[in-house]
Structure 1
Amino acid sequence: MAWNEPGNSNNKDPWGNKGGKDQGPPDLDEIYNDTMKKIRKAFGGKGGDGSPSGKSGGGFSSSGLILVAVILAAVWAYLGFATIKEAERGVVLRFGQFHGVIEPGLQWQPAFIDDVIPVNVESISSLTSSGKMLTKDENVVLVEMEVQYRIENPRNFLFSVTDPIYSLRQATDSALRYVVGHSSMDAVLTTGREEVRQATWQQLEDTITKYNLGLQVVDVNFLAVRPPEQVKPAFDDAIAAQEDENRYIQEAQAYAKAREPQARGVVRRMEEEAKAYRSRVVLEARGEVARFEKLLPEYEAAPKVTRQRLYLDAMEDVYSKTTKVLLDTEGSGNMIYLPLDKIMEKQKQSQDETADDNQTPASGQYSPPVTQLPNSSRGSGIRESSRFSGGR
């Protein structure tokens, strides 16, 4: 079956011809005239052939023109509304030139006249700067630093420089190299990291202020600072030694803080004891002076009796501190041993036995044992009057 047979259901061409009739493409003028007729009818026209003379149709009516104007005005007004988010600020360009900055909310700007560019001023972004840098003492360190920033001035951010983020990156690298170049390697790696960070931050802020980047640096942090791989083990040992030094210093300070109050307490106690000893010695001396002052008139009145009494008092004090006494009897050449501890023990036992009967042992009731010792070849010993019986 051929494609041009009348009975074939697919016997159609792109121009809509049927029945095997080949009329060619449609006339464009006819299509235009048909379209204009439909538009005129839709807006109240009478329809026509679309000729310029208007003899075949009535053209657009005044009400149709007003309706078209109203629709266009509504579309233009609708296109002028823009919503600025809470974290954004809108930069308004009027005919391509900066006009102003609008606040968050629903704003209206004339469409096709003003162009609004929203800029987020609250979100915090970050960039990283790193590289090998030379220190003041001519050592190479690998430094990596992170800078956190946000947009502070939308106008300066958009129009001051071509690429503010790239400019910030370059300023960070320049400030970091400047500060590291004026610091020693030990300061950058260990003790001076905070000083280097603060100095880099200050240098960076001074730079971006001069260029009006419209950016604010929120924070600057060291990500990694390390020596080259060839000398890294030696620097690790040095850092470990410094950490041990700091730990020992802190332990010593803690020990000093713990011992200092104790030492102060000991000093205070010794001072108080010294003051008490001084007071006691002074009072005892004053008491002795007062006793001798009272004893002097008695001695002047009866010297012999006073000397004898003082002698007996002294012997009583001496014998009260010993438990054994040796007596040398006059002329016999024998030594008498008096066990005072045994005597006192027996006396205490006898007192305990008679305590229930409320009886007091009479004087001389107990006769202590007497042990005679052979005469010493040297004749030495403690001599006392035979009348002495362990008391006055």
Structure 2
Amino acid sequence: MSWDWEKLKEQQHKRGDVPPQLDDFMKKVNKFKLPGGPFLIFFIIIVMLGSSMVYTVEIDEVGVIQRFGKYVRTRGPGLNVKLPLGIESVTKVKIKRVYKEEFGLRSSGMGESSRFSTESESNVALMLTGDLNVGLVPWIVQYRISDPYNYLFKVENINRLLKDMSESAMRLVIGDRSINEVISKREEIADEAELVLQAELDRAETGINVITIEMKRTNVPGPVQSSFNEVNQAVQEKEKMIYQAKEAYNKAIPAARGEAERTIKAAEGYALDRVNRAQGDVSRFNAVYAEYVKAKDITKRRLYLEALKDLFPKLGQKYIIDADQKNFLPLLNLKK
């Protein structure tokens, strides 16, 4: 059975079940036309202007608006509107972020501690102390932006100014301290340097608020480390000897003072006793003399007898003989 393809296509076309042909589809597409060029350009301009008028300020920042380069206002966090592109521009400043500047240190990466820099910026940490020693003093300055207007418009190259003022403040404080104070009193020096730096930044109207200055481990340069250790050892020996001398002094001096005080008190007691005895003797003599004046013979005899009474017991055994006695040997007890 042979097929008549032309006749079959004609029948399908009459029934309306013929699928659309590619040529027909392309003809219909070519008949469709987009809107005119001026309308499309106008639409694009409107979209660009609308997108340039709306901006978002994050929670930790503010938006500083400039109109033809001149400051006009500051906007807080949220969705804000400004004049289109070319008229007003916005600069976002993060006022809650803590910024950090390192001096004499170099961060080795995220999550790693800082270490001494081996590059030329390590010379920043070399400082002359008040006792004419050289110290290696690294430190870190942490700060926030407190006044966005001053930060953006009052100072040119504010980061360079911050570094110079930080170095100047630290050198000023270190220059008034000895090398031992620089090593042992880092917190005190950091607090003083923070006050000096903040005063200079406020005077320059930088809009920066210093949060803290942290001093890292302070030391002396490597070439003089051994000599410095010997000096420290000698100083420690000196302080040890001074301490021992003070300890001996504190033991000997109080003891000597106590002995001197005891001797003085004993002498004062002896003097008081002698004076009281002398005054008693004087009083007794005056009393006896008063009685002697009243009856001289009787008083003289009484005194003589009292003296003999006190004297004879002290002389031991005695024999009293008459001056006319010639032979008194039999009277003596020779066996005794």
TM-score with structure 1 length normalisation? Answer: 0.49
Q: Tell me which residue corresponds to 2:22.
A: 21
Q: CA deviation at 1:265?
A: 6.2
RMSD (CA atoms): 4.9
AA of the residue aligned to 2:210: V
After TM superposition, the structure 1 = structure 2 runs for residues 227-246 of structure 1, keeping only pairs within 5 Å, are 227-246=220-239
Q: Tell me which residue corresponds to 1:354.
A: none
Of residues 24, 29, 32, the one that matches 1:30 is: 32
Q: What secondary structure, in the 3-state scheme, does the structure 2 residue paired with 1:327 have? A: coil
AA of the residue aligned to 1:189: I
Query: 2:215, 2:332 → 1: CA distance?
Result: 99
Q: Tell me which residue corresponds to 1:301.
A: 297
Query: 1:156, 1:93 → 2: CA distance?
Result: 14
Asked if the contact 1:157–1:215 (Cα under 8 Å) also holds between the matched residues in 2, the reply is yes
Query: 1:107, 1:334 → 2: CA distance?
Result: 145
Asked if the contact 1:129–1:146 (Cα under 8 Å) also holds between the matched residues in 2, the reply is yes
Q: CA deviation at 1:93?
A: 0.8
Describe the superposition over 1:342-385 as per-residue Cα deviations: whole angstroms up to 9, x where unpaired.
Answer: xxxxxxxxxxxxxxxxxxxxxxxxxxxxx954xxxxxxxxxxxx
Structure-2 change in CA distance of 1:114 and 1:188 (3 Å): same
Of residues 110, 118, 138, the one that matches 2:81 is: 110
Asked if the contact 2:136–2:219 (Cα under 8 Å) also holds between the matched residues in 1, the reply is yes
Q: What secondary structure, in the 3-state scheme, does the structure 2 residue paired with 1:213 have? A: coil
Query: Whose Rg is larger?
Result: 1
Of residues 128, 140, 144, the one that matches 1:146 is: 140
Describe the superposition over 1:213-253 as per-residue Cα deviations: whole angstroms up to 9, x where unpaired.
Answer: 22233444542333332321221121233345446556766
Of residues 280, 291, 294, the one that matches 2:284 is: 291
Describe the superposition over 1:68-100 as per-residue Cα deviations: whole angstroms up to 9, x where unpaired.
Answer: xxxx9xx99x96786755xx6x34314354234
Describe the superposition over 1:245-292 as per-residue Cα deviations: whole angstroms up to 9, x where unpaired.
Answer: 446556766776788777766666555544443333222211111111
Asked if the contact 2:57–2:92 (Cα under 8 Å) also holds between the matched residues in 1, the reply is no
AA of the residue aligned to 1:153: D
Query: 1:127, 1:335 → 2: CA distance?
Result: 123
Asked if the contact 2:127–2:137 (Cα under 8 Å) also holds between the matched residues in 1, the reply is no
Describe the superposition over 1:121-159 as per-residue Cα deviations: whole angstroms up to 9, x where unpaired.
Answer: 5x6544221234364888654332333433332222233
Structure-2 change in CA distance of 1:208 and 1:25 (3 Å): farther
Q: What secondary structure, in the 3-state scheme, does the structure 2 residue paired with 1:224 have? A: coil
AA of the residue aligned to 1:99: V
Identity of aligned residues (%): 20
Query: 1:146, 1:210 → 2: CA distance?
Result: 21
Structure-2 change in CA distance of 1:99 and 1:161 (3 Å): same
Structure-2 change in CA distance of 1:108 and 1:229 (3 Å): closer
Number of matched pairs: 265
Query: 1:230, 1:334 → 2: CA distance?
Result: 112
Q: Tell me which residue corresponds to 1:157.
A: 151
Query: 2:227, 2:153 → 1: CA distance?
Result: 50
Q: Tell me which residue corresponds to 1:92.
A: 64
After TM superposition, the structure 1 = structure 2 runs for residues 163-202 of structure 1, keeping only pairs within 5 Å, are 163-176=157-170, 188-191=178-181
Query: 1:150, 1:254 → 2: CA distance?
Result: 52
Query: 2:240, 2:212 → 1: CA distance?
Result: 30
Describe the superposition over 1:175-204 as per-residue Cα deviations: whole angstroms up to 9, x where unpaired.
Answer: 545776x67xxx542146669767855764
- The higher-RCO structure (CA 8 Å, 6+ apart) is 2
List runs of 5+ in structure 2 lacking aligned partners: 1-18, 37-46, 105-121, 321-327
Asked if the contact 1:327–1:335 (Cα under 8 Å) also holds between the matched residues in 2, the reply is no
Structure-2 change in CA distance of 1:177 and 1:305 (3 Å): closer
AA of the residue aligned to 2:32: E
Structure-2 change in CA distance of 1:246 and 1:117 (3 Å): farther
AA of the residue aligned to 2:148: P
Query: 1:332, 1:191 → 2: CA distance?
Result: 103
TM-score with structure 2 length normalisation? Answer: 0.56
Query: 1:256, 1:29 → 2: CA distance?
Result: 118
AA of the residue aligned to 1:285: A
Query: 1:307, 1:209 → 2: CA distance?
Result: 108
List runs of 5+ in structure 1 lacking aligned partners: 1-17, 34-49, 51-71, 320-324, 337-370, 374-392
Structure-2 change in CA distance of 1:155 and 1:242 (3 Å): farther
AA of the residue aligned to 1:110: V
Q: Tell me which residue corresponds to 1:39.
A: none
